[in-house]
Amino acid sequence: MDLIVIVGPTGIGKTALAITLGQLLAAQLNRSAEVVSADSRQIYQGMDIGTAKPSPAELAALPHHLIDIVPPDYIFTLAEFQERAYRAIETIHAADSLPLLVGGTGQWVRAVIEGWGIPRVPPDPALRAQLEAEAERLGPEQFHATLATIDPPAAAKIDYRNRRRIIRALEVYHKTGQPISHHQQKKPPPYRILQLGLTMPREQLYQRIDRRIDDMVERGLVAEVEGLLAQGYGWTPPAMSGLGYRQFQPYLAGEITLVEAIALIKKDTRRFIRQQYNWFQPQNEAIHWLDVSQTGFEMVALQQIRTFLESISFK
């Protein structure tokens, strides 16, 4: 079973390439294709502009899965994404179509292609509150040390300042009696995988992102945020604390100007892009990188896929 993966930073053009490849695959290789989205923000309903969700025309051009599936206050876990993604890939294979796993959320992509073991442990608000209080009482280093005594492998991978991940590891241990590292053992899926990565010179990408953010504002991003708040979602849900939304909180509170809020989004987006590249780093040798600033990169991508599909083993 084959799986094509398209990754890259936000704003690089992953959706556009997927649609182009879908059309080229149908026209030149007589293969249909469908997209499985690996974007942790485009799952939310009503959050269209700020997440750069595919347009209705783009969604009509190529079938998409895992877009627009839950409300903004839904807690969508990595485990649920992995399960839904595998289910979507199986459905696409059953239809004799080619799945394209497309997205910039590196953790989500790697969870699928590497077969991460993910604890199916739902959040326990009461236990998390207790652990939060313990973290406040002990301080970052000592709180991290409590995890190290229970689960040294997990503690070695989690920065002592990352309270959220430490709490999750402790929560899993308290709920299951087993260290989270035990649950996280990998079992690679039975796919032949080709990974295509999109990139471009960093300063050009930053300029492209700045233009896209300005366009989002012109298309009504502020009204979208205000509409979500009017529906009662507030700033607490993870969706509302995401990039392109949380930066408007001080603006709507009258603490900064709109110009300052937009500048903050641009600054935070650049930081996010650097984080995305870090997520792709462990898979770097397996990713076939394409410079989207070069003319004809789409045809290079198509040739990579053609070679992959025609080969028994592709490296």
- Whether 315 is in a domain gets the answer no
User: How many domains are contained in the chain?
Assistant: 2
The verdict on 91 and 237 lying in the same domain is yes
DSSP H/E element including 102: strand 98-102
Last residue of a domain, one of 183, 208, 224: 183
Domain residues for the domain of 150 are 125-183
Q: For the chain, 315 residues long, give each residue's pLDDT as a single digit of tens.
A: 999 999 999 999 999 999 999 999 999 999 999 999 999 999 999 999 999 999 999 999 999 999 999 999 998 989 999 999 999 999 999 999 999 999 999 999 999 999 999 888 888 999 999 999 999 999 999 999 999 999 999 999 999 999 999 999 999 999 999 999 988 788 999 999 999 999 999 999 999 999 999 999 999 999 999 999 999 999 999 899 889 999 999 999 999 999 999 999 999 999 999 999 988 887 788 999 999 999 999 999 999 999 999 986 544
174 vs 3: CA distance, rounded Å: 37
Question: CATH code at 289?
Answer: 3.40.50.300
5 vs 231: CA distance, rounded Å: 36
Residue-averaged pLDDT of the chain: 94
b vs e for 62-72, b when ≥16 Cβ sit within 10 Å of the residue's Cβ?
Answer: bbbbbbbeeeb
CA dihedral sign, ordered 206, 300, 188, 92: positive
Last residue of a domain, one of 155, 183, 211: 183
The verdict on 87 and 207 lying in the same domain is yes
Question: CATH code at 152?
Answer: 1.10.20.140
The verdict on 103 and 132 lying in the same domain is no
CB 107 within 8 A of CB 10: no
For 92-120, what is each residue's pLDDT tens digit?
A: 999 999 999 999 999 999 999 999 998 88
Q: Which amino acid is at 297?
A: F
Closest listed residue to residue 171, CA positions, set 122, 117, 240, 236: 122
The verdict on 130 and 257 lying in the same domain is no
- pTM confidence score: 0.87
**What is the gyration radius of the CA atoms in the chain, in angstroms?**
21
The verdict on 176 and 223 lying in the same domain is no
The verdict on 20 and 83 lying in the same domain is yes
CA dihedral sign, ordered 207, 209, 212, 218: negative
Contacts of 257 (CB under 8 A, 6+ apart): 251
The verdict on 93 and 194 lying in the same domain is yes
pLDDT at res. 315: 43
Last residue of a domain, one of 183, 209, 233: 183
The verdict on 290 and 209 lying in the same domain is yes
The DSSP secondary-structure symbol of 248 reads G
Which residue's entry shows tokens 């035990």? 182
The verdict on 57 and 204 lying in the same domain is yes
The verdict on 86 and 229 lying in the same domain is yes
